[in-house]
């Protein structure tokens, strides 16, 4: 049995992963923000399932953008179960809209959730995992962390940043026995797309762009809708949770850094090419020991 901490469990991959791991007999801390507020229904559903099924699942309040909230959640986990075996940084938000129209404050929020939030969570749990000498961190990125498209630049920036953060961290802590990997989902039928914040654009900047830009945006949204309604397109969220499970079950030292799931838009090939260049880079800096996880 592993102790598993998962962020962003109110919906989507996080909710499904919490159920799957708990059902398999793991001890799960399913975290989410606003447990007593907007996410009270989601929290109540998980608690009910845990009680009815006799799962070792506990719902914990955790807002990845709030230092105090992360510290309080970590204290609860660490005092009750010790350092987790697995941390899945699943919480995220996706901004889709005209890049210039987003205010600096809106961009800051996107980065705070998707990048700084991951850092807050790991600062809380890594010391215990390193002291034990083992553990797994799964950071949920996206194919958008390897490619960039119009209207997703702010989201792209957050996921590209998460990819760089994760790879650098993986190397730094490899000799402590803690592994870091990323999962890169393509488009999936979760709440991420329907809840994607568009820019407020109080200044009306979008109105000053050519009509063709607006048409391209509408075409992009229609294309995504078509993917989600096509039964032949791999958009079942369960595929991503399957990969979480596979990574947890793999022997330490055998896990790939990147795992693409679903429509990859050529990202798998790009990843394979990068894998050839990363080790020589570390060798050039005399850091070959950082390429291998200590087991």
Among candidate residues 10, 142, 158, 259, the one labeled active-site is 10
Tokens of 231: 């039964």
- Residue 177 gets the label, from left (phi > 0), alpha (psi -120 to 50) or beta, of left
Q: Report how far residue 113's alpha carbon sits from residue 127's, in angstroms, rounded to the nearest whole number.
A: 22
Among candidate residues 102, 141, 152, 259, the one labeled active-site is 141
Scanning the structure block, which residue is given the tokens 């996921």?
A: 159
CA max distance for the chain: 58
Q: Report how far residue 197's alpha carbon sits from residue 258's, in angstroms, rounded to the nearest whole number.
A: 27
What stretches of the chain adopt beta strand conformation (E)?
A: 3-6, 27-32, 57-61, 86-89, 135-140, 178-185, 258-261
Kindly give, in sequence order, each residue whose CB lies less than 8 Å from that of residue 279, ignoring residues fewer than 6 positions away.
288, 291
Q: Is 272 helix (H, G, I), strand (E, B) or coil?
A: helix
Give the distance, in angstroms, between the CA of residue 126 and the centroid of all CA atoms in the same chain: 17
Catalytic status, residue 276: no
Tokens of 239: 């595929």
Q: Is 242 helix (H, G, I), strand (E, B) or coil?
A: helix
Based on its alpha-carbon atoms, the radius of gyration of the chain, rounded to whole angstroms, reads 19
Tokens of 288: 């070959």
Q: Is 8 helix (H, G, I), strand (E, B) or coil?
A: coil
Catalytic status, residue 159: yes
HSE toward the beta carbon, residue 223, CA cutoff 13 A? 7
Tokens of 148: 């960039």
Q: Is 31 helix (H, G, I), strand (E, B) or coil?
A: strand
Catalytic status, residue 155: yes
Among candidate residues 155, 165, 217, 244, the one labeled active-site is 155
Among candidate residues 102, 159, 165, 217, the one labeled active-site is 159
State the catalytic residues. Answer: 10, 141, 155, 159
């Amino acid at each position: 049995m592993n102790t598993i901490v998962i962020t962003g469990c109110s919906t989507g991959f996080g909710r499904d992963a919490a159920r799957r791991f708990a059902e398999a007999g793991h001890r799960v801390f399913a975290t989410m923000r606003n447990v007593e507020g907007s996410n009270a229904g989601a929290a109540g559903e998980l608690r009910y399932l845990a009680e009815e099924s006799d799962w070792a699942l506990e719902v914990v309040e955790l807002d990845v953008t709030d230092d105090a909230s992360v510290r309080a959640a970590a204290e609860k986990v660490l005092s009750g179960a010790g350092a987790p075996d697995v941390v899945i940084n699943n919480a995220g938000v996706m901004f889709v809209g005209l890049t210039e129209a987003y205010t600096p404050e809106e961009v800051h929020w996107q980065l705070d959730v998707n990048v700084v939030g991951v850092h807050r969570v790991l600062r809380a749990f890594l010391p215990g995992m390193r002291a034990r000498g083992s553990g797994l961190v799964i950071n949920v990125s996206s194919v958008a962390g390897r490619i960039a498209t119009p209207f997703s630049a702010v989201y792209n920036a957050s996921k590209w940043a998460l990819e760089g953060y994760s790879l650098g961290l993986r190397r730094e802590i490899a000799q402590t026995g803690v592994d870091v990997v990323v999962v890169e989902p393509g488009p999936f039928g979760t709440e991420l797309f329907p809840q994607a914040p568009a820019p407020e654009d109080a200044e009306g900047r979008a109105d000053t762009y050519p009509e063709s830009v607006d048409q391209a945006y509408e075409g992009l949204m229609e294309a995504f809708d078509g993917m989600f309604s096509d039964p032949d397109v791999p958009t079942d969220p369960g595929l991503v949770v399957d990969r979480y499970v596979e990574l947890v079950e793999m022997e330490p030292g055998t896990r790939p850094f990147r795992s693409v799931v679903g429509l990859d838009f050529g990202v798998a090939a790009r990843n394979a090419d990068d894998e050839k260049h990363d080790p020589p880079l570390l060798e050039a800096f005399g850091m070959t020991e950082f390429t291998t996880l200590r087991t």
